[in-house]
Each structure stands twice: as structure tokens, then as C-alpha cells.
Structure 1
Amino acid sequence: MPAISAAHILPIVMLIGSNVFMTFAWYGHLSYKSTALWIAILVSWSIALAEYMLAVPANRIGSAVYSAAQLKTMQEVITLTVFALFSVFWLKEQLSWNHVIGFALIAAGAFFIFQGKVA
């Protein structure tokens, strides 16, 4: 098993941070529906800049040790995890068993992506 390096860990941490910004940029305005749409768009774009400043270097660093498919899979699993927490704690929405099962199936898909090539 190869040694764990910063190139293994840093992209994960940066993608988590990126997804927190992304989720607030895309969905945070739903808590402020009385705000003008153009203001919501400008604020969202400002927040999204921080997202890109983390996501782009995370993928660049991560490409040294992960394939593009692995990076994208990590991104999706992190996105769903961050979004689930955001929707419960920020939007005050409940998760149902359908959500849990759907997320589990996506996580199962991620498992297979990280298994490498099938002979």
C-alpha cells in the first residue's frame, strides 16, 4: 500500500471547503427569498469565486495521485454529504430514508470507482 501524502489528503480537505462554499452559493439564498434576485445572483457569484479558488487547485494537486474519475467521484460524494448537512441544519429540511438509500447507492458506486481497473 502506498504511503499517504499531502497529495492524497489536501485535495479532500480542499474539496470539502469548496463544497461548503458551493452549497451556500447555490442554495443559501433560499433562506432569503425576499432579497432581490439580482442581489442573490451577485452574492452567489462572489461566494462561488471562493469555491473555485479551492476546487481548481484541489483537482490539480489531486491529479498527482488520483485519476480524473476518482476526483470526480470524491467531489460527488463530498457534495452530497455537505448538501445533506446543509439542508438539515441551514434549510431545516428533513432527510428521508429515500435520501439515505439513494446516497448509499452513490457511495457504493464510489467504492467501485476506487477499486481500479476490472480485469
Structure 2
Amino acid sequence: MRTVLLLIVSNTFMTFAWYGHLKHQDMALWKVILISWGIAFFEYCFMVPANRLGSQEGFNGFQLKTIQEIVTLSVFCLFAVFYLKEPLRWNYLVSFVFILAAVYFMFKK
């Protein structure tokens, strides 16, 4: 559970670093890059421990990456709807269900 919580925090920082500037198109690109790198620093401060703890808790690399992708998509969906004010369309949800199916098979013994 610690791994997932750290991944949620990490991905929240990364989502803002990668996509937060889309609402500020008037800002110079070099400023956006520097600000994004500053935000991304905090992403790494949570991502690295999340993966280390996950490994110690018995997850392998493939499983950690799959968990990370689900967390990334979940965080991004909330970000896109509430921050970017973009609609969550039905085909996005169907795509998400297929990715969840991939998670099922990733952890199937």
C-alpha cells in the first residue's frame, strides 16, 4: 500500500510537470521547461522510494511498471477533467478498462 500511495504522490507531481503548463500557453517555453524540471524533482523524490519499497515488498519490475501506469492514468484522468476541464469520453473509459484487464493478467499466477 505504501508503494501505491507514493506512486500517487509522485504521479501527481509528474502530471503537473508534464501537462500543467497547457493552461499557460502565454509563458515562454524555456520558463515552462525550467518550472517543469523543478516540479519533476519532487516526482523523483517519491518515485524512487516507491519502486524501492515495492521491490522490497515482493513486486518485480514488470509489476511495478504496470502499477505505475494505472496510477498515472488514474491521476491524469482526474487532472484532465478537473484542471484542464476536458471531458471524459466513453471511449477513454473503454480504453481504461482494457488497461485494467492487462493488470489482471500481469498479476495472475
Amino-acid identity (%): 53
Give the TM-score taking structure 2 as reference length.
0.97
Q: Give 1:10's aligned residue.
A: 2
Q: Give 1:68's aligned residue.
A: 61
Aligned length: 108
Unpaired runs of 5+ residues, structure 1, are 1-8
Correspondence list, 1:35-46, <5 A: 35-46=27-38
Please state how far the C-alpha of 1:115 moved relative to its aligned partner.
1.1
Distance 1:77 1:14 in 2: 13
Distance 1:100 1:70 in 2: 22
Distance 1:88 1:79 in 2: 14
Show CA shifts across 1:6-44 (max 9, x none): xxx111100000000000000000011101111000000
Please state how far the C-alpha of 1:49 moved relative to its aligned partner.
0.4
Runs of 4+, deviation exceeding 3 Å: none
Correspondence list, 1:1-119, <5 A: 9-64=1-56, 65-116=58-109
The alignment partner of 2:53 has SS state of: helix
Q: Give 1:4's aligned residue.
A: none
